[in-house]
Amino acid sequence: MDEQIDDLPPVITIQITLLDDKSEFSELQNKSHRSPQYSRSAQALLKHHAKAYNLPELTPKCLAFAFVRAYALNLGCSKDIFIGNPQGGKPGEIVGADIAISRQYHEATHGQQSSMASFGEKYVWAATHELTGFLADRVTAYDWKHEPHKPPVNLGLLAEVNNPATDIGYGQLNSGSVLEFSELIPDVDLTEPLQIDRVNEWLQKAPLPPVEPLLLPGSSQFIEWAQDHEWLVLRAFVKRRHIDSQAESIFWASSFAFPSFASSLMEESICDVRIQDLHNFRAIVDVMETYQDPCEVVWAPWIREAEGIIHPVVNHSAGQPKTIPLLALTCKVDWRSPDGEAEDWLPAKWLRRLLGIVDFHAGLFLNANGEILAFTIEQAGESWERHECQILVARYDVVIDALKARNLALGWGIRLYREPSYPLNILSDEKRMYRDWCATVFYSGDSLKVVTSEDLIRGWGENAYEPRQTSS
């Protein structure tokens, strides 16, 4: 005899009416249908409620979705209150509570709780816990060994346990070094008296920075133990504010490798290729449902990566199309640190194997002999603060030698975005200007080539623009 099946709490009885229409319900059913095998108690519960609403079937995902939605509405979740009518910061917008929270705090991914959650997220978590407790009293659960646990199920079996590797490897490198990146905010002669006119004047007059000191920072800027080697940037996010004008410069860089023989093709026609977000080109850990912390990713060779290669098509002088494989040198990892959800950058898996990186601890990437081959520097800040950076650097000689041995060359996608800093960007409305520069940087022989794919200087309210394409 199977367990007794009780009705769901009263709030679930309005599950079907809460869905906008039957097509939405059918679409959700189709997406979640995988024909899995559930316990007899789970199958009985689903059939019981499907029959109550004259449905051919009811999947667990649809049951959970409907319950959470109904529960949140029952608690008072309202689009008018929590969303409002946001207009991207334009005058006259009505900003709901959840939109205001999302503009200041990062929302967690991978189904985890945000460190600073919106009202809507809190309602969803309350509903999830309620439903979990309800099902634990009525449905058999199975552990990772496929052992059955009849109700009432100990909720401790459903809790997520942190990998001990997280505690071992956690910690930021206390380098004591702050890379200035003064090239991002050069001083220029300004004549305008009003602040918004002054910042617009700076945006138009300030020259583009030289890329070499940004991508190959001098070793004297690093902590003492790192000054014995030259370092190159694998990944960078840097934000700096110019004091006089109150303009903000944000710089992104992401590295990649490509076949050395393709240097001439890159120089000839890479500016003709619309490679979106090359400054954000990276691999990701091929697990979307759960976190993988940096220690796990470095230690476990079976963890796979995805999205780390693209094949842009270029044309050489003869006019024949050619594809150039670009291999990302970095990998993005979202994980649950003791301080909440964190985003970190690692050398990509193929590069770690190439360099012999086998260990990670407190921002340091080590080989089997304990040599530091790469490390991260992070300077955290709130969105309104003046300086912020997250940089991943690696030994110049080790990376270049390893790439040359395999007939590969080094390149970067970079982007520089300049605009008035907060709160001037809000107060100035559409009068403010911005500059957006995107370029590809790569080694051609022993020299760095810079190919600009886009360089925009315009007012915020303008729609038409002419991108510039140059090389140097």
pLDDT digits (tens, 9 = 90+) for 231-244: 999 999 999 999 99
Domain membership of residue 54 (yes or no) is: yes
Which is higher by pLDDT, 85 or 211?
Answer: 211
Domain check: are 114 and 194 in the same one? no
Domain check: are 249 and 386 in the same one? yes
Question: Which of the four pLDDT bands, split at 50, 70 and 90, describes residue 253?
Answer: very high
User: Is residue 157 pLDDT above 80, yes or no?
Assistant: no
Query: Would you state the pLDDT for residue 54?
Result: 86
Query: Would you state the pLDDT for residue 108?
Result: 73
Mean pLDDT of 245-255: 94
Query: Would you state the pLDDT for residue 361?
Result: 84
Q: Up-side HSE of residue 387: CA atoms within 13 Å toward CB?
A: 10
| Domain stop point among 125, 159, 193 | 159
Question: Which of the four pLDDT bands, split at 50, 70 and 90, describes residue 299?
Answer: confident
Query: Would you state the pLDDT for residue 175?
Result: 54
Query: Would you state the pLDDT for residue 319?
Result: 64
Q: What is d(CA 255, CA 330) in angstroms, rounded to the nearest whole number?
A: 7
Token pair recorded at residue 357: 């990186």
Query: Would you state the pLDDT for residue 160?
Result: 66
User: Tell me: the pLDDT tens digits for 361-406?
Assistant: 888 999 999 999 999 988 765 555 567 889 999 999 999 999 999 9
Domain check: are 151 and 212 in the same one? no
Domain membership of residue 268 (yes or no) is: yes
Query: Would you state the pLDDT for residue 248?
Result: 93
Domain check: are 446 and 305 in the same one? yes
Domain membership of residue 2 (yes or no) is: no
β 408-420/433-444 pair status:
antiparallel
Domain check: are 127 and 234 in the same one? no
Q: Mention every residue, 6+ apart, whose C-beta is less than 8 A from residue 199.
A: 245, 246, 247, 420, 421, 424, 428, 432, 433
User: Is residue 165 pLDDT above 70, yes or no?
Assistant: no
| Domain stop point among 140, 159, 178 | 159
Which is higher by pLDDT, 262 or 374?
Answer: 374
pLDDT-wise least confident of 68-82, 277-291, 388-402? 277-291
Mean pLDDT of 266-285: 73
Q: What is d(CA 97, CA 383) in angstroms, rounded to the nearest whole number?
A: 18
Mean pLDDT of 416-420: 94
Domain check: are 201 and 266 in the same one? yes
Query: Would you state the pLDDT for residue 288?
Result: 56
Domain check: are 195 and 276 in the same one? yes
Query: Would you state the pLDDT for residue 6?
Result: 40
Query: Would you state the pLDDT for residue 219?
Result: 86
Query: Would you state the pLDDT for residue 111?
Result: 67
Query: Would you state the pLDDT for residue 413?
Result: 93
pTM: 0.71
Domain check: are 403 and 433 in the same one? yes
Q: What is d(CA 155, CA 458) in angstroms, rounded to the nearest whole number?
A: 57
Query: Would you state the pLDDT for residue 386?
Result: 64
User: Is residue 437 pLDDT above 90, yes or no?
Assistant: yes
Residues in a beta bridge with 17: none
Count how many residues are written for the chain. Answer: 472
Domain check: are 151 and 267 in the same one? no
Domain membership of residue 39 (yes or no) is: yes
User: Is residue 28 pLDDT above 80, yes or no?
Assistant: no
Query: Would you state the pLDDT for residue 240?
Result: 93
| Domain stop point among 139, 159, 179 | 159
Domain check: are 316 and 382 in the same one? yes
User: Is residue 5 pLDDT above 60, yes or no?
Assistant: no
pLDDT-wise least confident of 41-50, 180-189, 310-319, 405-414? 310-319
Average pLDDT, the chain: 79
Residue 315 · residue 270 · CB < 8 Å:
no
Domain check: are 225 and 327 in the same one? yes
| 23-32: long-range pairs with CB below 8 Å, 24+ | 25/62, 28/61, 28/62, 28/65, 29/57, 29/58, 29/59, 29/62, 31/61, 32/59, 32/60, 32/61, 32/62
Query: Would you state the pLDDT for residue 192?
Result: 92
User: Is residue 39 pLDDT above 70, yes or no?
Assistant: yes
User: Is residue 274 pLDDT above 60, yes or no?
Assistant: no
Domain membership of residue 80 (yes or no) is: no
Q: What is d(CA 106, CA 342) in angstroms, rounded to the nearest whole number?
A: 10
Domain membership of residue 445 (yes or no) is: yes
State the DSSP H helix or E strand holding residue 241, giving kind and residue range, or none if neither: strand 231-242
Query: Would you state the pLDDT for residue 19?
Result: 34
User: Is residue 463 pLDDT above 60, yes or no?
Assistant: no
* Domain housing 264: 168-471
User: Tell me: the pLDDT tens digits for 200-209?
Assistant: 999 999 999 9
Query: Would you state the pLDDT for residue 76?
Result: 86
User: Is residue 176 pLDDT above 70, yes or no?
Assistant: no
User: Is residue 464 pLDDT above 50, yes or no?
Assistant: no
Query: Would you state the pLDDT for residue 11?
Result: 35
The secondary structure of residue 385, as a DSSP letter, is S
Token pair recorded at residue 8: 């769901």
Domain membership of residue 90 (yes or no) is: no
Q: What is d(CA 46, CA 57) in angstroms, rounded to the nearest whole number?
A: 8
Helices (H), 35-157: 40-52, 60-75, 79-82, 97-102, 119-136
Segment of 32-46, 126-140, 303-317 carrying the highest mean pLDDT: 126-140
Query: Would you state the pLDDT for residue 467?
Result: 43
The secondary structure of residue 379, as a DSSP letter, is E
Q: Mention every residue, 6+ apart, whose C-beta is less than 8 A from residue 144.
A: none
Query: Would you state the pLDDT for residue 21?
Result: 37
Number of domains comprising the chain: 2
Domain check: are 364 and 435 in the same one? yes
Q: What is d(CA 459, CA 432) in angstroms, rounded to the nearest whole number?
A: 6
Domain membership of residue 123 (yes or no) is: yes
Query: Would you state the pLDDT for residue 377?
Result: 87
User: Is residue 88 pLDDT above 60, yes or no?
Assistant: yes
